[in-house]
Copies of this chain bind each other. A is one copy, B any other.
Amino acid sequence: MKKGVMRPGHVQIRVLDMDEALKHYVELLGLIEVDRDDQGRVYLKGWTEVDKFSVVLREADEAGMDFMGFKCLDESVLDNLHEGLKAFGCAVDEIPEGELKDCGRRLRFTAPSGHDFELYATKQQTGKWGVGNHNPEAWPRGLQGIKATRFDHCLLYGTDLDKTLDLFRDVLGFDLAEQVVTPDGKRVAQFLTASMKAHDVAFIDHPEPGKFHHASFFLETWEDVLRAADLISMTDTSIDIGPTRHGLTHGKTIYFFDPSGNRTEVFCGGDYHYPDHEPVTWDADKLGKAIFYHDRQLNERFLTALT
């Protein structure tokens, strides 16, 4: 948190049919519906999240990610980062307070990778769902499905990874935690963090800008990943791969698809990062093992990402 950016705070995902989407994100994934707005967007959160929401679903004709937002320490941080973004050459839109319900003003910009990101510092805090912060029990009863604990990160496919790293590192204070590098020194994957997590956002080099690979949600244990896999099967949900482990970050994971074709990850474990750590580097010829540690090869779907 070198520049006051704390964490991934929300992601807005486009879905083709809201009712179907809610079966996925609420009944299967286990997020909690907390609100809706007059645009018809539905607001969700994982139970450990203190802020009011972290996932916003918007019905649209095409699946994908509208934007990902990072929460900052306070409003003055936001002002400083606004200057930094402008100096970097980003056009910044200031979206007024309340455009997302109970969320303060947001600074919107497009990264060189082609993705829209936001910074904000204020969101209503409703506390951990079902447990609060006064003599809290270990976990709340009444959770559904996979019981995802929090929105954790996104993996995005896009252009110009170098300049995207410059932006996230130099302007926003992220560290490069892990990377995949070709023999001639080109970075084809970069995992960035503003905290101890192995990644708060990750990018894979892709000829088209602004593509969405997955939004990821945190689970506590490898048993939870198994439960997720079982539920994916029981609900006849389209699976991508898993349960398995990643080489990059070493998280234990499963990928599956929402009814609109957006990929969802749930995972547990994984490495931690501090700002004095050298990046972990994988050679590009080990990309298969870096992504899927057990199979040691990419499945054909891995390179598929949504607009």
Q: Which residues of A contact B (CB under 8 A)?
A: 1-2, 6-7, 48, 50, 71, 73, 125, 127, 133-139, 141, 195-197, 220-223, 226, 229-230, 232-234, 239, 242-245, 247, 250, 252, 254, 269, 271-272, 274-283, 286, 289-290, 293-296
Q: Of B223, B226, B280, B296, which one neighbours A245 at CB under 8 angstroms?
A: B226
Is the beta-carbon distance between B223 and A244 smaller than 8 angstroms? no
What residues of B have a CB within 8 angstroms of the CB of A223 in the complex? 221-223
Q: Of B6, B137, B239, B274, which one neighbours A274 at CB under 8 angstroms?
A: B6
Q: A222-B221, A233-B293 are in contact. Are A6 and B138 (CB under 8 A)?
A: no
Q: A50-B278, A229-B294, A239-B296 are in contact. List 19 more A-B contacts (CB 8 A).
A: A1-B275, A2-B73, A48-B271, A73-B275, A133-B277, A133-B281, A134-B280, A135-B286, A137-B233, A137-B234, A138-B233, A195-B274, A220-B269, A221-B222, A222-B222, A226-B252, A233-B296, A239-B295, A242-B294
Q: A6-B276, A71-B276, A278-B133 are in contact. Are A138 and B222 (CB under 8 A)?
A: no
Q: Of B125, B127, B239, B245, which one neighbours A294 at CB under 8 angstroms?
A: B239
What residues of B have a CB within 8 angstroms of the CB of A135 in the complex? 247, 281-283, 286, 289-290
Q: What CA separation (Å) do A163 and B236 show in the bound complex?
A: 36
Is the beta-carbon distance between B73 and A138 smaller than 8 angstroms? no
Q: A1-B1, A278-B50 are in contact. Are A293 and B195 (CB under 8 A)?
A: no
- Chain B residue at minimum C-beta to C-beta distance from A51: B276
Is the beta-carbon distance between B278 and A230 smaller than 8 angstroms? no
Mind listing 25 A-B residue pairs with CB under 8 Å? A1-B2, A6-B274, A7-B274, A48-B271, A50-B277, A71-B274, A125-B276, A127-B278, A135-B282, A135-B290, A136-B247, A137-B234, A138-B234, A138-B245, A138-B250, A138-B293, A195-B196, A221-B223, A222-B222, A222-B223, A226-B245, A229-B245, A229-B294, A242-B294, A243-B294
User: In angstroms, how far is the closest chain B Cβ from the Cβ of A215?
Assistant: 19
User: In angstroms, how far is the closest chain B Cβ from the Cβ of A190?
Assistant: 15
Is the beta-carbon distance between A73 and B6 smaller than 8 angstroms? no
What residues of B have a CB within 8 angstroms of the CB of A242 in the complex? 294
Is the beta-carbon distance between B133 and A230 smaller than 8 angstroms? no
Q: What CA separation (Å) do A279 and B243 show in the bound complex?
A: 29
- Chain B residue at minimum C-beta to C-beta distance from A122: B276
What residues of B have a CB within 8 angstroms of the CB of A269 in the complex? 220-221
Q: A134-B281, A278-B125 are in contact. Are A244 and B243 (CB under 8 A)?
A: yes
Q: What CA separation (Å) do A286 and B137 show in the bound complex?
A: 12
What residues of B have a CB within 8 angstroms of the CB of A254 in the complex? 294
User: In angstroms, how far is the closest chain B Cβ from the Cβ of A240?
Assistant: 10
Is the beta-carbon distance between A133 and B279 smaller than 8 angstroms? yes
